[in-house]
Amino acid sequence: MKRLLAALGLALLLSHEAAAQQDASANRRVLRMVPHSNLVILDPIWTTAYMSRNHGYMIYDTLFGTDEKNQIKPQMVESWRMSPDKRLWTFRLRPGLEFHDGKPVTSDDVTASLSRWGKRDSMGAALMTFVERMDAPSPDTFRIFLREPCGFVLEALGKPSSSVPFIMPRRVADTDAFKQIEDTTGSGPFIFKRDEFKPGDKAVYLRNPKYVPRKEPPSGSTGGKVVHFDRVEWNLAMRDPQTQVNALARDETDLVEQVAFDQYEAVKALKEVRLFFYTPLGRQFMARFNHLQKPFDTPAVRRAAIAAFNQEPFLRAQVGSKDLYSTCPSMFTCGTPYSNTAGSEIQSKSSLRKAQELLKTSGYDGTPVVILKPTDIFSINKLPEVGAQVLRQAGFKVDLQVMDWQTMLGRRAKKEGWNLIFAAWDSPDIWNPINNAALDARGEKSAGVGWPTDERLETLRAQFLRETDDAKKKKLAEVIQARAFEVGTHAPIGEYRQPGAMQKNVSGIVTGPGNFYWNVRKN
């Protein structure tokens, strides 16, 4: 009997150990993470929202990408060549590219995807002004014919952030650029599990078993996208910062994309958790005006507001920890080739008294400034409050309206009903005069959110597009920035580094202008 009981005990112990090992193995195959926001919009071309961009990187692939050293590298493209007159670009796709539905990726899919992207994205639209036509002479080859030489073809095709030129099946890419797509078929490293998607609750992605990664090591949005998880779960419901910290402490989640600034010290103290930063060059806060509606339909009124926007109060209130933020007078990421101080005195050397004086002479008629404040984006949710305070002190009437982020995305897409929004941009999205969406001054029908109109600014940006000399391009960037401050396109509100947090058994995070989940594994 004793021997029998001992044998049963040993069998039970081995059974528990086997079950524990099986559970541990299964746990290593699933990544549980909390994204920085809710996911509602599944079309990364229709919106510039970073949640939609991150969703795009999970399920789509790109022709080119940008590595950690800001160099353009091929991704879906195997080879390319440029004609001697620099007007014909020929690209060949690498073999093995396949959509999630089993159909091969063809050059027809590519040209349709680029055409749709070029109708929405500022850099895509700039490229299309040079494009005479695109064609697909064979299933694996596409060509771009230019009216005149253009020095940023690869830079545009490898754009890493905001409206990324993701490649979709032609049947999807043929959707009107101003209507959201409904089909989420891609060719990327993950497959979106549409039947488990619940906005405000969860989004699930499965490993694409047929995806063929490149051989190069991952770097930024380039290189081999090797997936080590069978399943990635986005917890869209966990929006409270303290709850996120508690979940990290109890090992209930593997990763939190964005740690709220006021929880930074608390997370630093967790022994089994480590902090990381996705974007090495950081991000820039920005205030964007609605140029179509009073009172910001007048440059003088916009300049009065810019004069009130001293960056330090915004940064101190929103970020807090001085080792995470810095003031920056440039509209282009500080520390990058085009950063400069031209025209910035209206903001960097101004004061509330100056703003009050400018407002008195601006013709401001007392129209309230409607500011939209998102409640659930903790990287920007305090900026509207500071903006409301300083504008009131400058003499503006202010209407601060509170809502969740997804509601705000819908509101800001409309050309009426708001006057001022605050946003945060990854550094690659603003580091030159072409991809900085706030400088797109093509007006109501073509420009992005805010819809600025200024022919002089567009003429200067066109000159920048055609210039090939680096020194002249830097000078043009200064002239463009000075003009932007003069007409008040928008206001930079300083720069910061956004911390994320993960369990110490998580490794392989690829830093870049997006939240990438290839190469990541759990020990």
- Confidence category of residue 20, pLDDT binned at 50, 70, 90: very low
Gap between the Cα atoms of 350 and 369, Å rounded:
21
CATH 3.40.50.2300 fits 193-278+499-522, yes or no: no
409 vs 512, more confident: 409
The torsion of the CA quartet 52, 55, 57, 63, rounded to 10 degrees, works out to -60
Inter-residue contact 467 to 154 (CB < 8 Å): no
User: 3-class SS at 333?
Assistant: coil
pLDDT digits (tens, 9 = 90+) for 473-501: 999 999 999 999 999 999 999 999 999 99
Inter-residue contact 190 to 205 (CB < 8 Å): yes
What integer pLDDT is reported at residue 13 of this predicted model? 58
What is the architecture of the domain spanning 50-177? Alpha-Beta Complex (3.90)
Instruction: Tell me the whole-structure pTM to 2 decimals.
Output: 0.83
What integer pLDDT is reported at residue 14 of this predicted model? 57
Closest alpha carbon to 314 in 394, 376, 382: 382
**CB-facing half-sphere around the CA of 513: CA atoms within 13 A:** 28
Q: Which of 112-116, 319-323, 383-387, 398-402 has the lowest mean pLDDT?
A: 319-323
pLDDT digits (tens, 9 = 90+) for 352-381: 999 999 999 999 999 999 999 999 888 999
pLDDT at 469 over 70: yes
Torsion sign (Cα): 386, 388, 393, 394 = positive
Average pLDDT over residues 205-230: 96
- Confidence category of residue 449, pLDDT binned at 50, 70, 90: very high
pLDDT at 227 over 70: yes
First to last CA, the chain: 42
Average pLDDT over residues 80-94: 96
Percent of the chain with pLDDT strictly greater than 90: 82
**151 residue type, one letter:** G
Specify the residue for token string 């650029």: 177
- Confidence category of residue 429, pLDDT binned at 50, 70, 90: confident
pLDDT digits (tens, 9 = 90+) for 256-287: 999 999 999 999 999 999 999 877 778 999 99
What integer pLDDT is reported at residue 380 of this predicted model? 95
Gap between the Cα atoms of 307 and 303, Å rounded:
6
Tally: H helices and E strands in the chain? 16, 23
pLDDT at 173 over 70: yes
Note the CATH number of domain 283-496: 3.10.105.10
What integer pLDDT is reported at residue 8 of this predicted model? 67
Gap between the Cα atoms of 149 and 466, Å rounded:
8
Which ranges of 381-489 would DSSP assign to H, the alpha helix? 383-394, 405-412, 455-466, 470-487
Gap between the Cα atoms of 255 and 505, Å rounded:
10
Percent of the chain with pLDDT strictly greater than 70: 95
Closest alpha carbon to 376 in 151, 28, 26, 51: 51
Domain regions of the chain by residue span: 50-177, 193-278+499-522, 283-496
20 vs 234, more confident: 234
